[in-house]
A = this chain, B = another copy of it.
């Protein structure tokens, strides 16, 4: 276990906790107080740590992913389980009871209009509706965002998702697929948000800056 800790850079106490919680299978006992851990243990340990530390998954959700990785699921199923587990923190609240409100209706209209395969039970639907509600709460602002206003954005999101999925090409191992899903959903998100803000700065400069030549340093 000391070697497993050294190679994974995860503290022994943390490894013991993961073992107790069933996130990591026990090593093969070789002698009293000695167990052998395989390369597979190391890779599972790194995945567990990444899901908890970067994905902010609960122990229970992490266990769901690890169970999926251990079962003979195909690529689509492994991806699906990991993807759904990672949505959980974003979808803070259950949908409001009763009739769907305007935000929920606009969410469905957008998905239908795009022809997207998003399951009825996907937590993303409520997350999007929540985002629309938050935009609507700023009622002093002239524009309302609904299916129509979001469709051009959705088309660019579709192109971005194609770049994302291209990165799964060639991955066959279920641990690799789960790791990559973590990178693509959680870790790339702030990077892409920053790229958009940079592009906003650039675009604002192009459109509105006077004396752009000076900005460029050309005279």
Chain A residues proximal to chain B, CB less than 8 Å: 43, 46, 50, 54, 74-76, 79-80, 83, 87, 90, 111, 114, 116-119, 122, 124, 127-128, 131-132, 134-135, 138, 140-143, 145, 150, 152-154, 156-165, 167, 176, 179-180, 183-185, 187-210, 212, 215-216
Residues in B with CB closer than 8 Å to A196 are: 157, 160-161, 164, 189, 192
B195 touches A83 (CB 8 A): no
* Closest Cβ–Cβ distance, residue A127 to chain B (whole Å): 5
Residues in B with CB closer than 8 Å to A162 are: 203
* Closest Cβ–Cβ distance, residue A76 to chain B (whole Å): 4
A202 touches B161 (CB 8 A): yes
* Closest Cβ–Cβ distance, residue A118 to chain B (whole Å): 5
| Best-surrounded residue of A43, A83, A195, A209 (most CB of chain B within 10 A) | A195
> A157 is contacted by which of B143, B187, B192, B207 (Cβ under 8 Å)?
B192
A116 touches B202 (CB 8 A): yes
A203-B167 contact given A50-B138, A90-B190, A191-B132, CB 8 Å threshold: no
B199 touches A157 (CB 8 A): yes
* Closest Cβ–Cβ distance, residue A93 to chain B (whole Å): 13
> A153 is contacted by which of B43, B118, B163, B216 (Cβ under 8 Å)?
B163
Residues in B with CB closer than 8 Å to A188 are: 135, 145, 153
